[in-house]
């Protein structure tokens, strides 16, 4: 396992991090299964675990908390907030009112007195940067969080938040968590240059592109990933974007074979090769998934392999940009772009 400094914090984290979105109802995983996954991940050198309040309605945090009991100080623990937690209109967003309340809820579910990294899951256009950063700074000073970061923020919002922190003399985001994979390279055009400029740590989500780069999805095979059950439209090859992904996967499989690599090694080795990336978040649901991903921990792709990838999916290109969840709200809601 490789270890890298998380931005400018001085904290050393593994180049592969354990994502907990599949823990609980969403991934149909029990406490015993989650504990086994955490045990194996730690044994394999992973020291960063990332969850969120919204994952399985808080169940993921509860399962993670029990799995790390007795070794809390050895784990860099990250969670997130801002996505809706129920139907109440104020149980979401990044207002001081909600973040102060929801962090306490997360700490209770996790069974800890602080988290190492608290992340705003999505940019909240209704709340000012000053409001959010002020709340996060106070929570940091209270000792409930060590650092705070953002997730899936557009590049201009990352820059604006850094400017607001300086202007108002507040703590700043020290990490960003973008979508990034061989099939989704748009982050290279805007987000990653900005994170490099501000010295942010980068934890990339979906480096296997929701299973497209796992090796399980190939021409002529029935798609049976866990994601295909609740997001079937993302795997329907009649959709042009999905057809483009499948065509790319077939070409990438040849590159992997010629290099003596699995598709997973190719995919994870690609994202961790970018100088802006600190860690790739893997989201195994089973021990077999985890072990196949841990096998990529020390993968270093040669220049000719990286060049071959560039010819299949050009730098800065997203094959399915609509799946990244980072579109400005006005693109999704007509009422926000009309007077």
Catalytically annotated residues: 55
Other beta carbons within 10 angstroms of residue 328's beta carbon come to 14
Q: Are 320 and 327 in contact (CB under 8 A)?
A: no
CA–CA dist 201, 46 (Å, integer): 16
**Largest Cα span, the chain:** 57
CA–CA dist 288, 158 (Å, integer): 36
Nearest to 309 by CA among 246, 280, 267, 275: 267
**CA triple 140-272-193, angle to 5 deg:** 65
**Element of type H or E holding 73:** none
CA–CA dist 82, 94 (Å, integer): 5
Which residues of the chain form beta strands (DSSP E)?
3-5, 12-14, 16-19, 48-50, 76-81, 115-120, 145-151, 175-177, 201-204, 279-282
Beta-strand pair 12-14/3-5: antiparallel
CA–CA dist 8, 15 (Å, integer): 16
């Amino acid at each position: 396992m490789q270890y890298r400094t998380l931005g400018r914090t001085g904290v050393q984290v593994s180049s592969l991090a354990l994502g907990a979105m599949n823990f609980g109802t969403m991934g149909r995983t029990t406490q015993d299964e989650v504990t086994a996954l955490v045990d194996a991940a730690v044994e394999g050198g992973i020291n960063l675990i990332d969850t969120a309040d919204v994952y399985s309605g808080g169940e993921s945090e509860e399962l993670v908390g029990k799995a790390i009991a007795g070794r809390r100080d050895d784990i860099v623990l990250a969670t997130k907030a801002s996505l809706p937690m129920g139907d109440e209109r104020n149980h979401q967003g990044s207002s001081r009112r909600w973040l102060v309340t929801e962090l306490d809820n997360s700490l209770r579910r996790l069974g800890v007195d602080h988290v190492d990294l608290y992340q705003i899951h999505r940019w909240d256009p209704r709340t000012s940067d000053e409001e959010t950063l002020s709340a996060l700074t106070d929570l940091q000073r209270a000792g409930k969080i060590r650092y705070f970061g953002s997730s899936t923020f557009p590049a201009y919002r990352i820059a604006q938040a850094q400017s607001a922190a300086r202007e108002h003399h507040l703590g700043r985001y020290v990490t960003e968590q973008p979508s990034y994979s061989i099939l989704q390279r748009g982050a290279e055009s805007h987000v990653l240059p900005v994170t490099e400029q501000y010295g942010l740590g980068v934890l990339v989500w979906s480096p296997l592109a929701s299973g497209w780069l796992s090796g399980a999805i190939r021409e002529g095979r029935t798609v049976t990933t866990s994601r295909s059950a609740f997001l079937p439209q993302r795997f329907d090859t009649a959709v042009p974007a999905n057809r483009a992904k499948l065509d790319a996967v077939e070409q990438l499989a040849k590159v992997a074979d010629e290099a003596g690599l699995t598709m997973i090694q190719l995919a994870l080795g690609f994202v961790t090769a970018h100088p802006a990336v600190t860690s790739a978040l893997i989201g195994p649901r089973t021990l077999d998934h985890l072990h196949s991903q841990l096998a990529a921990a020390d993968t270093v792709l040669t220049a000719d392999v990286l060049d071959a990838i560039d010819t299949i999916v050009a730098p800065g290109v997203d094959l399915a940009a609509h799946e990244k969840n980072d579109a400005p709200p006005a693109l999704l809601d007509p009422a926000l772009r009309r007077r």
